[in-house]
Structure 1
Amino acid sequence: MSNPQTEIWDIYDVNKKVTGRTMIRDDFHMKPGEYHLSVLGVVKRTDGRFLITKRDEKKRWAPGHWETSGGACVAGETSYDAVLREVKEESGLDVTGCPHKLSLTYRRDNPDEGDNYFVDVYLFVKDFNEDEVKLQEEETCDFKLATFEEIKAIGEEGKFLHYNSIKKVFEDTI
């Protein structure tokens, strides 16, 4: 895992092409048309339940909210490699070689914050036992295997990050 203080991210253009320029993690001074790239990994078991994790209560943004594993791509990293790394870091699950697909990509423009980004959302199918889940300290504090209906209810309460942007992935099949 990279040191967050020295983590470097590529800057992308509006067409999601690498510009050749970089930024330091969380140093949001992006101009209109500049973006960084993040990923989310939705892990589905063949019984139809999804792995969701709860953000640590000490996180500065959205503590205690539910989510799927994810994070930013570091400079030179593909979104696929980043999602494999993030799922492994945050949940302990290795989804390398599992049936998967890039389910969707969305873009957020936040000019007032200088934080514009793309998010690649991958869907993986992996059967695993609950004792295989190893949460990343200071990132996640709990997990559950949830049905789409349970995730939808959490999303409607406003307690599931990115829910409105990714809800169709939970209905997707590989």
Structure 2
Amino acid sequence: MEYWDIYDKEKHVTGRRMIRNDWHMKPGDYHLTVLALIRDRAGRILITQRKADKEWAPLKWEIPGGGVRAGERSEEAVLREVAEETGLHFTMEQGRCIHTYRSDSPAEQNNYFVDIYEFWGDFTQADVRIQDDEVEAFRLASPQEIGALGERGDFLHYHRLEGLLARPGSSGEEA
């Protein structure tokens, strides 16, 4: 059984834990999720499609990520999730956290923080090894292609990512 730490509204660990995906959170309690914008040298972004049998958002496109396990740091979780879902291995020297947001959903009893990381790598589609039980398909997409998916409602959390997609530079450096 996997456990997640519970955080307070300031993103501090409370010392309490929850069972993964047990959506019975109290107001003011949060869990932590990570996402990874993985860019190749041409600036294309690795996107994955959720399995058809997923209970929530089947066949929708997204960027790799997942829940931060109890006792795990955000940086550790994003490296683990990227490796599990894509077979790609990065170090934190190849990436950085570029955005954090908080979502409050008291009606759903699912409050969370999301840390979004950006990684740049010298990889090709042939290097990607998807996690068969989580991922249906993958592709390298331009920010414009992701925008088209987002406008159609086929890309998860597009409104949260839109401003992060077209970033300057081609090597992870700010222009």
Q: Is the 8 A contact 2:86 2:128 kept in 1?
A: yes
Amino acid at match of 2:58: P
TM-score where L is the length of structure 1: 0.94
Q: Which residue of 1 aligns with 2:39?
A: 44
Aligned equivalents of 1:107, 1:136: Cα separation in 2: 27
Q: Which residue of 2 aligns with 1:75?
A: 70
Map 1:17-166 → 2, pairs under 5 A: 17-166=12-161
Aligned equivalents of 2:92, 2:78: Cα separation in 1: 13
Pick closer, same or farther for the CA change 1:115–1:84 going to 2, 3 Å: same
Aligned equivalents of 1:82, 1:112: Cα separation in 2: 27
Aligned equivalents of 1:95, 1:116: Cα separation in 2: 29
Shift of 1:172: 2.7
Q: Which residue of 2 aligns with 1:10?
A: 5
Q: Unpaired runs of 5+ in structure 1?
A: 1-5
Aligned equivalents of 1:98, 1:13: Cα separation in 2: 29
1:103-151 deviations in whole A, cap 9, x for unaligned? 1001111101111000000000011021111110121011111000000
Shift of 1:34: 0.5
Shift of 1:53: 0.6
Amino acid at match of 2:110: D
3-state secondary structure, aligned to 2:165? helix
Aligned equivalents of 2:75, 2:165: Cα separation in 1: 19
Amino acid at match of 1:115: N
Q: Is the 8 A contact 1:123 1:169 kept in 2?
A: no
Q: Unpaired runs of 5+ in structure 2?
A: none
Number of residue pairs matched? 169
3-state secondary structure, aligned to 1:154? helix
TM-score where L is the length of structure 2: 0.93
3-state secondary structure, aligned to 1:119? strand
Q: Is the 8 A contact 1:105 1:118 kept in 2?
A: yes
Instruction: Using the TM superposition, name which of 8-17 and 130-139 deviates more.
Output: 130-139
Aligned equivalents of 2:53, 2:93: Cα separation in 1: 32
Aligned equivalents of 2:24, 2:55: Cα separation in 1: 19
Q: Which residue of 2 aligns with 1:3?
A: none
Aligned equivalents of 1:150, 1:144: Cα separation in 2: 11
Aligned equivalents of 1:130, 1:26: Cα separation in 2: 31
